Amino acid sequence: MCEFNLKRTLRIIPSLGWMACIIYLSMQSGSESGELTKQFLGFLEKNGINLSLAFGEYAPVFIRKSAHFSEYFLLSLLILIATLNLKRKWSLTMVAGMVFSVADECIQSIVPGRVASIGDVVLDSMGLAFGITCFWLIRNLHAKAKRELKPDAAKIKCLSL
């Protein structure tokens, strides 16, 4: 029997919120999206990061493609947090993220001035995979550190004699 778990339900909210943000950004027209990219480049320049020096006229493309990777990197972490206690969280996160990425591109295909791109789905999938890998590494390093810090029962018994 499946029972309601408030804690698990609350852990889902950030991933759903982030998905809503991704959809909101995807629904912007091409000109709105381009303007947001220009504003972000201006913000970086004001803070001493001039991507135009490194990428020239392709700086806006770099920002947009980096955004795809970063959005889905964060999405993978949020989905993993939401599915912490599930056995198949790794594959569930990858599949759910990829399905969402394809849906996101389908939405972009009907927005004026935007197009769907299989390359963007690949970038999104790379962000998902990197997020899953980072989460797995951090989780395992944390578990290893916890084991190493845990006092050995035999040593404690020996010291108390």
Q: Where are the domains of the chain?
A: 11-160
Which two three-digit tokens encode residue 96? Answer: 């759910």
Chain-centroid distance, C-alpha 19: 10
Burial of 79 (0-12, 13-18, 19+ CB in 10 A): buried
pLDDT, tens only, 3-25: 667 887 888 999 999 999 999 99
H, E, C per residue of 64-120: HHHHHHHHHHHHHHHHHHHCCCCCCHHHHHHHHHHHHHHHHHHHHHCCCCCCCCHHH
- From 95, 89, 94, 92, select the one nearest 139 (Cα to Cα): 89
Please tell me the predicted confidence (pLDDT) of residue 44: 94
Q: Please compute, for residue 76, the number of CA atoms within 13 A of its CA located in the half-sphere on the CB side.
A: 24
Q: Residue 46: what residue type?
A: K
Hey, what are 79's tokens? 């989905």
Q: What is the mean pLDDT of the chain?
A: 89
Quote the pTM value. Answer: 0.83
Angle at 92 between CA 143 and CA 80, to 5 degrees: 40
In this prediction, residue 158 carries a pLDDT of 53
Q: Which residues contact 26 (CB under 8 A, 6 or more apart)?
A: 104, 107, 108, 111, 114
pLDDT of res. 152: 61
pLDDT in tens, 128-141: 999 999 999 999 89
Residue 124 reports pLDDT greater than 90: yes
Closest CA to 75 of 83, 87, 65: 83
